[in-house]
Amino acid sequence: MVDPNWQQLEDFAREELGRPLLGGKLTLRPETTLDADLRMTGLDAVEFIDKWVERFDISVKEFPYNRYFGPESLDVAGFFVGLFSKRARGPERVPLTLGMLAEAMRRGHWDTEEIEAAAGRAK
């Protein structure tokens, strides 16, 4: 049996992301990451999450965008400084998966610790 939350999320993601550049169907699975697999960063990622929150009426006090997404473009100066200084590097990003979004839909709210623990990504 198909999880109705997953089906709704998959439909939403397809609507927001469109078709792959080379055609075909976009492959979406619970383990699909927004940043690495779907290449969602910066403002695009923020807009996707904001639309997801609104569409599915997810209760969120404050979504930790910086925990999951980097900037829209490469920070060249920051990159080179980070090569030589660990303190100058940005925080390690946590992969945000579609499965984590589906879990929040089942719960009706976003709680970073709960969602990451359910996904096996506890701090």
pLDDT digits (tens, 9 = 90+) for 13-58: 999 998 776 777 889 999 999 999 999 999 999 999 999 999 999 9
Write out pLDDT tens, residues 56-84: 999 999 999 999 998 765 555 555 555 56
- Cα 121–chain centre separation: 14
The 10 Å Cβ neighbour count of residue 78 is 13
For residue 68, the model assigns a pLDDT of 95
* Average pLDDT value over all residues in the chain: 86
Q: Is the pLDDT of residue 107 over 90?
A: yes
- pTM for the whole structure: 0.82
Contacts of 105 (CB under 8 A, 6+ apart): 5, 8, 9, 56, 58
Extract the tokens encoding 121: 């990504």
For residue 18, the model assigns a pLDDT of 87
For residue 70, the model assigns a pLDDT of 84
**For the chain, what are the domain ranges?**
29-118
